[in-house]
């Protein structure tokens, strides 16, 4: 068996950098397993040659995870695999225009494609106004940004993402924008769409979230060195050196002295806190480890103040160094929460910038888009001359594209054929046969001088040489055979010349489309100059890991010295590695490897599968498993001891409750904070629905009795004065999630995150255009998808115990069927009261 990279199909290479991020048709159809290395194999390679194998390992595994859904969607679309859902298929396509945006709202080259098949509005939504209202209400109907494949039958031409323009979609037939993912694909797409035979051309929307993969994969291709390489690639080897600046080094010595003497360290005087802040014991040790190691790791069980320690570390670095800090998190919610924590601890917002389009009310002022527009944020570099020159070139390109589109939509003129023959080696002899000798005035129709185009027209219409009158005497003998060609063959030649002419125009259009795209990138880069200027003047830059890959030029301009990663245990290793620019001196990871691992699509790549690929092992967990030192926080400030005792029993034997947790108010209307409910109503097995996150399970499950019990519980707790936004309902099964959604919609609008919505659609349990109602919002989620929002979630020994520490919630209801208590027909209903602002540690 061949188990080395390269040769399986036309997109399999020994050098991973040659691999196209999106698959080819040959790759999708290939029956051979891809080349994937196991984690242990990578770290058995000699240290001096490990890095290239390590980056290849990250790229190939992450790409294979992306392909899991995408490959399946294409096979379903092509009829190679059966499923309860059908990917959106757009057919009877024709290229009607293009779009480059306008002014400052320039966009990548966008193909505007008319679709006569596939976009079907409801029967009662036929008027323009009704269509518009429907599109504005149902954002998932022809979803903006959805990835798709333009295919000629089962051959992939190109991948692209949908640009959803309501004014175009309401046309009859509707028009949709497609932005092709790469230059080569753009050329092929243009040629295919301008071809005369469009009946076999289809665009399949594959509904795979490539936006979270593509920037990371592209960035991995660019990585040639890793800062702090020894600590990352040889965690159990000789300690890596990190020499903090003098003031910070002295501060660390003071902290160590306090720790050795068992004293609390007062951070107020050194860090200019308005109030007294003491840290001691495990908190103090974590602070020291985070500040002094090249890769500082701090494990924080739920409620122990991970974010607080992270904010303290940022404050120390701000006060005692000149370092710039890059704050990373996987989700926008977690990023905004941490930036707010930094402001709460006393770091002025004028020192911070937030990269990305999302924000909260408090972090909106930090958004780099806003900052770059202010007079203070503008770069001293005058980009206007370069911008005007580039826009002028783009305008010229657009004029050429307009002319080409008009030419391609119009019938080919005889003069255009003659011009094509004149420039063709094989056509030159034909061109010569249709010329009129210079100086000769030979009359044609209406006594007008005979032109080559008239001669060509007579030849095409089957006329013989004698029809040329006086011109016949001037025809060279070498051209006689051309005039002796039978009329039917002349038409065949003409059709070939028309196709050749059109192909030249299509090639020219495709080349200009690529030019327009390159000009867009130049314009975009010039506009980013203001953003690069902003980050050069800010000490703290906040970004999601995907954003760090997407905005690499801005991150590099910031030249961060320190990268601080929040919830590092839930972030894929590749996401952290791609955020490390050459300027980075230290990496600080704050998280908990006993909580949820990073989310992956392909179960075969997970630790749980046991094949050794371990894609869902974070860098945080991997380093700990390989012997890297880390500190552990031990005091929890969030949950009442009645709840935290489960965490001690399951995963954290050293976890301690601070005294104030004993004083939290009880839940109104219930005798206990944790309730286990037993019943004798077994669940139903849904043989036609599988849970995509657990392929080992043959079928999903649902339990109507439990769903009704949850409904009654939510009603009862609402009567006690609790709002629906204070509650979350969790379940591990897709079947139960669908049933709960239907049941709870009686009194609430069950809110699903995008991950669960995606899974329900794929399972055939929900349509893309799900109904909406003006009712109170109630969060509803599968256990593994409820992350990064408003809770800390963890697993232990494969037992879901998420209800124990829900950060800003008051009530959590978990309907887990056979989950926690391992009883065939048991409902686990956990109702817990927590303290909302538990991270404000004295």
Going by pLDDT thresholds of 50, 70 and 90, the confidence category of residue 822 is very low
Nearest-angstrom CA–CA distance, 460 and 493: 9
Return the DSSP state at 426.
T
| pLDDT > 90: percent of the chain | 44
pLDDT at 826 over 50: no
> 34 with 8: CB under 8 angstroms?
yes
**What does each C-alpha distance from 297 to 43, 226, 431, 608 come to in angstroms?**
20, 18, 77, 24
Look at residue 829 in the predicted model and tell me its pLDDT. 45
Q: Residue 835 pLDDT > 50, yes or no?
A: no
Per-residue pLDDT, 69: 80
Q: Is 743 exposed, middle or buried (0-12, 13-18, 19+ CB in 10 A)?
A: buried
Average pLDDT over every residue of 808-826:
41
Q: How many CB atoms lie within 10 A of CB 290?
A: 24
Confidence of residue 688 (pLDDT cuts 50, 70, 90): low
327 in helix, strand or coil?
strand
Distances (CA, A) of 163 to 7, 150, 191, 664, 701: 36, 15, 20, 50, 37
Closest CA to 622 of 574, 578, 582: 574
| Interval 588-608 mean pLDDT | 92
CA–CA distance, 830 with 738 (Å, rounded to integer): 20
Residue 819's pLDDT band, with cuts at 50, 70 and 90, is: very low
* Gap between the Cα atoms of 670 and 655, Å rounded: 26
Q: Are 363 and 336 in contact (CB under 8 A)?
A: yes
Question: Which stretches of 351-486 are DSSP H helices?
Answer: 368-371, 384-409, 414-422, 428-433, 452-460, 480-483
Sign of CA pseudo-dihedral 701, 706, 711, 715: negative
Mean pLDDT of the chain: 83
Please return the burial class of 103, using the count of CB atoms within 10 Å of its CB with bins 0-12, 13-18 and 19+: exposed
d(CA 145, CA 167): 17
In this structure, are residues 182 and 245 in contact, taking their beta carbons and an 8 Å threshold? no
Q: What percent of the chain has pLDDT over 70?
A: 84
- What per-residue confidence (pLDDT) applies to 788? 38
Residue 547 has pLDDT above 50, yes or no: yes
Name which of 69-73, 215-219, 362-366 the model is least confident about. Answer: 69-73
Q: Is 680 exposed, middle or buried (0-12, 13-18, 19+ CB in 10 A)?
A: exposed
Strand order of the β-sheet with 777-782 is 749-751, 777-782, 727-731, 811-814
3 state SS of 729 = strand
Please identify which residue in the block is written with the tokens 């955020």. Answer: 579
Q: Which tens digit of pLDDT belongs to each residue from 712-747? A: 888 888 888 887 777 778 887 778 888 878 877 766
Q: What pLDDT, in 10s, does the model give residues 416-469? A: 999 888 888 888 989 988 888 765 566 655 567 778 888 899 899 998 887 877
pLDDT confidence bin for 26, thresholds 50/70/90: confident
Has this prediction a pTM greater than 0.85?
A: no
Q: Give the list of residues 6+ apart from residue 828 with CB closer than 8 angstroms, or none.
A: 676, 677, 814, 815, 816, 819, 820, 821
Q: Residue 630 — pLDDT band, cuts 50, 70, 90?
A: very high
SS (H, E, C) 529-595: HHHHHHHHCCCEEEEEHHHHHHCHHHHHHHCCCEEEECCHHHCEHHHHHCCCCCCCCEEEEEECCCE
- Would you state the pLDDT for residue 780? 60
> How far is it, in rounded angstroms, from Cα 44 to Cα 574?
19
If DSSP codes are grouped into helix, strand and coil, which group holds residue 402? helix
Q: pLDDT at residue 139 above 50? A: yes
The answer to whether 159 and 165 are in contact (CB under 8 A) is: no
Nearest to 542 by CA among 830, 332, 818: 332
Is the dihedral angle over the CA atoms 205, 211, 217, 223 positive or is it negative? positive
708 Cβ contact list (under 8 Å, min separation 6): 743
Q: Which residue has the tokens 């291709």?
A: 221
Q: What is the mean pLDDT of residues 256-270?
A: 91
> Does the pLDDT value for residue 486 go beyond 60?
yes
| Least confident piece of the model among 80-89, 414-423, 510-519, 608-617 | 80-89
pLDDT at 813: 60
Count of other CB atoms within 10 angstroms of residue 149: 26
**pLDDT of 556 above 80:** yes
- In which band, very low, low, confident or very high, does the pLDDT at 832 lie, cut at 50, 70 and 90? very low
Q: At what angle do helices 306-320 and 332-344 cross, to 10 degrees?
A: 60
Tell me the C-alpha distance between 691 and 818, whole Å: 15
692-706 pLDDT, tens digit per residue, is 555 556 667 888 888
pLDDT number for residue 831: 37
With 50 as the cut, is the pLDDT of residue 772 above it?
no
Whether 479 shows a pLDDT value over 90: the answer reads: no
The pLDDT assigned to 747 comes to 64
Which token pair is 355? 């990269």
**Dist CA 442 CA 447 (whole Å):** 9
pLDDT of residue 792: 30
pLDDT at 535 over 60: yes
Over residues 262-280, mean pLDDT: 87
Q: φ, ψ for residue 749 (rounded to 5)?
A: -105, 95
Element of type H or E holding 114:
strand 105-117
Helix 452-460 / helix 487-536 crossing angle, nearest 10 deg: 120
Nearest to 785 by CA among 826, 751, 828, 817: 751
The pLDDT of residue 765 is above 60: no
CA distances (Å), 772 to each of 100, 128, 134, 475, 750, in order?
34, 22, 12, 78, 9
**302 or 347, which is more confident:** 347
Q: What is the CA radius of gyration of the chain?
A: 33
* Tokens read off for 144: 């903006």
Yes or no: say if 202 and 151 are a contact pair by the CB < 8 Å rule: yes
Sign of CA dihedral 238, 240, 245, 249: negative
């Amino acid at each position: 068996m061949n188990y080395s990279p390269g040769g399986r199909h036309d997109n399999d290479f020994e050098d991973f950098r040659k691999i196209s991020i999106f698959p080819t048709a040959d790759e999708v159809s290939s029956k051979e397993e891809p080349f994937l290395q196991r984690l242990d194999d990578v770290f058995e390679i000699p240290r001096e040659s490990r890095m290239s194998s390590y980056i290849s390992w990250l790229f190939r595994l992450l790409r294979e995870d992306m392909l899991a859904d995408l490959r399946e969607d294409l096979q379903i679309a092509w009829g190679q695999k059966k499923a309860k859902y059908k990917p959106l298929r757009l057919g009877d396509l024709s290229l009607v225009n293009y779009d480059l945006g306008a002014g400052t709202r320039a966009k990548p080259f966008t193909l505007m494609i008319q679709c006569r098949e596939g976009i079907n509005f409801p029967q009662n939504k036929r008027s323009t106004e009704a269509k518009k209202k429907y599109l504005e209400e149902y954002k998932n109907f022809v979803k903006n940004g959805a990835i798709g494949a333009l295919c000629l039958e089962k051959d992939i031409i190109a991948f692209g993402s949908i640009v959803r323009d309501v004014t175009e979609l309401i046309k009859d037939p509707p028009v949709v924008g497609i932005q092709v993912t790469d230059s080569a694909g753009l050329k092929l797409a243009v040629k295919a769409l301008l071809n005369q035979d469009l009946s076999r051309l289809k665009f399949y929307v594959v509904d795979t979230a490539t936006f979270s993969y593509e920037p990371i994969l592209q960035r991995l291709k660019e990585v040639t060195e890793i800062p702090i390489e020894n600590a990352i690639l040889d965690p159990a080897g000789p300690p890596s050196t990190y020499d903090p600046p003098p003031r910070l080094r002295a501060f660390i010595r003071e902290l160590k002295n306090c720790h050795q003497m068992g004293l609390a360290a007062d951070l107020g005087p050194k860090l200019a806190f308005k109030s007294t802040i003491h840290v001691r014991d495990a908190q103090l040790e974590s602070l020291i480890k985070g500040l002094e190691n090249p890769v500082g790791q701090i494990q924080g069980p739920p409620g122990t103040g991970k974010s607080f320690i992270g904010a303290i570390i940022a404050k120390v670095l701000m006060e005692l160094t000149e370092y710039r800090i890059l704050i990373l998190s996987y989700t926008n919610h977690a990023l905004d929460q941490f930036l707010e924590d930094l402001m709460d601890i006393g770091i002025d917002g004028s020192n911070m910038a937030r990269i990305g389009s999302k924000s909260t009310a408090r972090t909106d002022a930090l958004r780099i888009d806003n900052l770059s527009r202010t007079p203070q944020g503008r770069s001293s570099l005058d980009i206007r001359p370069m911008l005007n020159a580039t826009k002028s070139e783009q305008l010229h390109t657009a004029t050429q594209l307009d002319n080409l589109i008009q030419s391609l939509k119009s019938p080919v003129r005889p003069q255009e054929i003659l011009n094509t023959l004149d420039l063709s080696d094989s056509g030159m002899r034909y061109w010569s046969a249709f010329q009129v000798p210079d100086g000769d005035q030979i009359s044609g129709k209406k006594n007008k001088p005979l032109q080559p185009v008239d001669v060509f027209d007579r030849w095409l219409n089957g006329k013989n040489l004698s029809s040329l009158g006086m011109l016949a005497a001037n025809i060279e003998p070498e051209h006689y055979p051309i005039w002796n060609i039978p009329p039917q063959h002349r038409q065949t030649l003409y059709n070939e010349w028309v196709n050749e002419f059109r192909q030249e125009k299509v090639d020219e259009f495709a080349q200009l489309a690529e030019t327009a795209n390159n000009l867009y990138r130049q314009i975009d880069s010039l506009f980013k100059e203001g953003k690069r200027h902003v980050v050069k003047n800010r000490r703290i830059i906040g970004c999601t890991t995907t954003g760090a890959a997407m905005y690499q030029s801005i991150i590099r301009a910031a030249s961060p010295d320190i990268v601080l990663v929040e919830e590092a245990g839930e972030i894929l290793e590749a996401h952290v590695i791609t955020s490390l620019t050459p300027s980075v001196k230290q990496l600080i990871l704050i998280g908990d490897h006993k909580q949820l691992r990073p989310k992956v699509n392909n179960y075969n790549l997970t630790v749980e599968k046991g094949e050794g690929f371990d894609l869902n092992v974070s860098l945080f967990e991997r380093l700990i498993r390989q012997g890297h030192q880390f500190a552990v926080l031990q005091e929890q400030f969030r949950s009442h001891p009645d709840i935290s005792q489960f965490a001690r029993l399951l995963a954290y034997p050293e976890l301690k409750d601070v005294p104030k947790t004993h004083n939290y108010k009880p839940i109104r209307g219930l005798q206990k904070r944790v309730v286990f409910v037993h019943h004798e109503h077994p669940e139903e097995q849904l043989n036609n629905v599988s849970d995509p996150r657990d392929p080992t399970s043959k079928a999903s499950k649902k339990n109507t009795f439990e769903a009704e019990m949850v409904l009654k519980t939510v009603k009862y707790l609402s009567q006690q004065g609790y709002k629906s936004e204070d509650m979350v309902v969790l379940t591990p099964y897709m079947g139960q999630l669908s049933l709960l959604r239907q049941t709870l919609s009686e009194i609430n609008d069950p809110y699903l995150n995008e991950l669960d919505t995606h899974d329900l659609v794929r399972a055939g349990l929900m349509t893309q255009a799900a109904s909406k109602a003006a009712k109170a919002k109630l969060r509803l989620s599968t256990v593994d998808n409820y992350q990064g929002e408003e809770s800390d979630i963890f697993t232990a020994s494969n037992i879901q115990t998420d209800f124990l520490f829900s950060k800003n919630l008051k009530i959590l209801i978990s309907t887990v069927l056979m989950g926690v208590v391992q009883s065939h027909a048991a409902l686990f209903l956990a109702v817990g009261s927590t303290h909302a602002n538990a991270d404000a540690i004295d």
